[in-house]
Structure 1
């Protein structure tokens, strides 16, 4: 049987890397998009191949539509794509909106919403039977911040992720008859570098008490949810975003 071929954006660190390893264990071959960290990308690629899957990494800035096209063109060279995990994102900054530089607001929306729209558009053109695809699954990685708003921390990020949730609802209905399921995952506080990269390395410990389960999540726990949504066990799920946030 032909192995599933899945594209993961932001696929070489954090939740993306954990998802790559989980899907590799499930028998997927992978095309992993990344923005800049070549060493992390190579480390992830080797780990995926050690897990028995074929993997290629593609570097590019997904806020550039041409980079999105290159990612999917490269994927097509390795087979028929059957799944896309639309995961790339970052908070970039921590602080009240009024004190966040305008260029940071713009970059946050461009990365977390505009780029996600570009990737979703390319995914449909790759997966949908109306474009010659074989059908498949698009998983949009949102955030628990989309419903909490993240006041005083990153309202602009929360607003962008709320847009991703709307994308999941609308696009699922738009492409249901073209063989594509569109689903979402909304992680809560997860032990990745996202807060450290935004300049607040102690945030997980600072907010852990707010989480009903009393701890941050692990990237593998989000990867498990993504893998389930991509599997035949979730064949009747579309247009929904699964919250994986420890009760918050």
Structure 2
């Protein structure tokens, strides 16, 4: 019996990598999408294979629609149709007040975080939808608690991009529910990933974690558990939904 195929974008690190490992343990053939870090992607794939799982690496910049289309076509030709998609790829820029940022920065963030997610969802629909011969499927978009709180003085543009993901998730989920495709989102909070260093404060989670009701930051594996529940049949009656993994914030 052919194993179900899950594509995880931005899977070479952080939440994406944790999700890839968990998906492999649950029996999925895992497609690890990455943009730049081939070494990290290959190391993750090797780790999964050593544990008895199936994993393949595909390079594509999700901010480029033609690369997204080519990636999905390559998956179909080599392994079959995607039955699960996790849109984990995302970027931010250095911490700054919004009034000090430039349109070029906003455009870059939205191109990856919003339009990249939308492109992947559009391509996944063609693999999953009953009207195109698909068997149905599940999509999980990575939003952020920042979409709710706005991330003032740090990442307002990033927060805005995740707010767009929330709205897109809701609308797209309702459009495709009768096609056997479920679409949900997970909103992580302060999670120990490399993104904080890229924003200029590697110790951000240590600084802010104690201010949360649970008094700590979260781990990527804790977010992965929520993602894979939404992918699984255990959540078969859940679509257009959101799970906050934010320590109570």
What is the aligned-residue RMSD (CA, Å)?
1.1
**In structure 1, what is the equivalent of residue 68 of structure 2?**
68
1:103 maps onto 2:104 in alignment: yes
1:71-86 matches, within 5 Å, as 71-76=71-76, 77-86=78-87
Q: Deviations over 1:129-173 (max 9, x none)?
A: 112211010001110100010000110111110111111111111
Counterpart CA distance in 2 for 1:48 and 1:129 is 31
- Asked if the contact 1:93/1:100 (under 8 Å) is kept, the reply is no
Partner residue of 1:10? 10
Matched residue SS, 2:81: coil
Partner of 1:159: 160
Partner of 2:32: 32
Within 2, Cα distance between the matches of 1:92 and 1:59?
22
Which deviates the most, 75-84 or 221-230? 75-84
Whole-angstrom distance in 1 between the partners of 2:228 and 2:133: 25
Matches within 5 A, 1:43-58: 43-58=43-58
State the match for 2:88 in structure 1: 87
Query: What is the rounded CA distance, in whole Å, between the counterparts of 2:56 and 2:199 in structure 1?
Result: 28
**Unmatched 5+ stretches in structure 2:** none
For each residue in 1:171-193, what CA deviation from the matched residue of structure 2 results, as whole angstroms up to 9, or x when unmatched? 11101111100011000010010
Contact 1:211 1:246 in 2 (8 A): yes
**1:93-124 CA distances to partner (integer Å, 9 max, x unpaired)?**
21111112332121111111111111111111
Consecutive unaligned residues in structure 1, runs of 5 or more:
none
Cα shift readout 1:33-55 (whole Å, capped 9, x = no counterpart): 11101111111111121222211
| Structure 1 moving runs of 4+ over 3 Å | none
1:228 aligns with: 229
- Equivalents in 2 of 1:105, 1:178: separation in Å? 34
Between the two proteins, the alignment pairs up a number of residues equal to 248
Offset, 1:62: 1.0
Residue matched to 1:20? 20
- Indicate the SS of the match to 1:17: helix
The residue aligned with 1:241 is 242
> Whole-Å Cα distance in 2 between the matches of residues 142 and 193 of structure 1?
17
Other structure's SS at 2:58 match:
strand
Distance 2:4 2:83 in 1: 6
Q: Tell me the equivalent position of 1:122.
A: 123
